[in-house]
Structure 1
């Protein structure tokens, strides 16, 4: 099933519906939700998934688990996806919030096979076994830390979303506090209570997340300078601490000939 609409097949009596879709660069899937849980795998490119609770950046060859009935939007940066839409009752273990996970070779090959199914594939033969094995493999995945939380208050969330769109190393706590008509101390205390992080720590992590799509087309040195780091080494150290992998693993050279990053361990 490729480039078909979920709405056209959601009624089909199958626990797992696999769909493969190609998107033009920069395509935005605006706010929407699915009745089913979704396993969204980016075979190429980078995806940025937003919900009211946070933002998840999905590097190449990774996936994001999206809970059923979660309002979300997705920005596709050169992405070809392989999605599984899954009946919620079949996955009581599904996470309650979006979760980025690794996609090892077996899971990737199962996904590539599944999107070749007919919509009414046989549930008890080979195709049904692949669908069942897909769920076992997804349940075994561990979460990856490619996200930042968003504050529930609309004024703070607006600040954060604007920063995620255009991360500016020159922004200060004082500037953010002034925009919310609060003292810097009161603003910092409120921000920490809503996100669990200080504004400065939150902005530093947001900048590192912004680096993931930038590394697709730029070198580590270029991205380090764009983010205001004193040196590529300082950027590499911060990125590796945050995500467990050096930024070079996300450049086209690090993935080898511009293809997907097939390595999954630091």
Structure 2
């Protein structure tokens, strides 16, 4: 027993051995080690991970999700995924037996975490495993779930095509965001028409190739910005020829300029 008379918290490593959660909603504070979780795996329950510091990356068959501070990612039950992050990433994770009714049962999503939701997650993550579902702790859980389902979804997902030729192109561009390779170049290399590849790309990702590459470049900028790198250096590394073009595109995608993102990063690091 803990000093306050509650059963001890479960260790994160023990989760994989559970057949079911001790409560329909369970949470804990977790700091990830400096390794890449490169293996694909699933959970029998849903997982919501909130990045306090560092940028969390979640890879699924259909897309790539980037989760900077002040955001959280929802991973539904039984969805194959792998996770990677810097060694100093700090998370607060919640595990839910049931998928909220208004969320797709198979779709990951990134949501914004406002100050109220941040404090609810922080408080809940410090509760004992066997909290009183019918008391004050249970009421806190219900408020937390209400806030989660109404949190705005963020466009921090990069859809990935399934076609081998298109997936190879996307892998190439993700590895080198500043590469100039275009759809026309790839069509010539693969002996097909650019129009054919363009139609296929739109059908499989829901985005034109131009919009996909812009989103890919902007998402690739987030980890570097979170590390505190100079905005000018980040813009060049992501394939932008001018700082002003990068700032304008960043603002259209994320609703704030890179400088405001960096300030949010500092606020997140200073939050309890």
Whether these two folds match at TM > 0.5 is yes
Instruction: Trace 1:16-35 onto structure 2 (pairs within 5 A).
Output: 16-25=25-34, 27-28=36-37, 30-35=39-44
Query: Any conservation in 2 of the 1:34–1:68 contact (CA below 8 Å)?
Result: yes
Q: By how many angstroms is 1:121 displaced?
A: 1.9
* Aligned with residue 4 of structure 1, among 1, 9, 12: 12
Q: Indicate the residue corresponding to 1:209 in structure 2.
A: 219
| 1:241 correspondence with 2:249 | no
**Correspondence 1:55 to 2:55:** no
* Pair 1:65 & 2:74 matched: yes
Map of 2:163 onto structure 1: 153
SS of equivalent to 1:260? helix
User: Which residue, 111, 114, 118 being the options, matches 2:124?
Assistant: 114
For 2:149, the equivalent position in structure 1 comes to 139
Q: What is residue 268 of structure 2 aligned with on the other side?
A: 260
- 1:79 matched to which residue of 2? 89
CA RMSD of aligned residues (A): 2.3
Output the TM-score relative to the length of structure 1.
0.88
Cα deviation 1:134-162 (Å, max 9, x = unaligned): 11110111111111211122332233234
TM-superposed CA distance for 1:215, in Å, is: 0.7
Assess, with a 3 A threshold, how the Cα gap between structure 1 residues 175 and 131 changes in structure 2: closer, same or farther: same
Is residue 101–residue 142 contact of structure 1 (8 Å, CA) maintained in 2?
A: yes
Shift of the 24–178 alpha-carbon distance from structure 1 to 2, 3 Å rule, reads: farther
1:46 counterpart residue number: 55
In structure 2, the residue matched to 1:224 is 235
Three-state SS of the structure 2 residue aligned to 1:215 is: helix
Contact 2:45 2:97 in 1 (8 A): yes
How far is 1:241 from its partner?
0.8
Judging changes above 3 Å, is the alpha-carbon distance between structure 1 residues 154 and 134 closer, same or farther for their aligned structure 2 residues?
Answer: farther
Is contact 1:12-1:119 (8 Å) kept?
no
CA contact (8 A) 2:53 2:269 kept: no
Shift of 1:164: 2.0
User: How many aligned positions are there?
Assistant: 259
What TM-score does the superposition give when structure 2 sets the normalisation length? Answer: 0.86
User: 2:224, 2:111 → 1: CA distance?
Assistant: 20
- Partners of 1:29 and 1:10 lie apart in 2 by 24
Moved over 4 A (4+): none
Gaps of 5+ in 2: 1-8
- Asked if 1:182 corresponds to 2:202, the answer is no
1:10 deviates by: 5.0
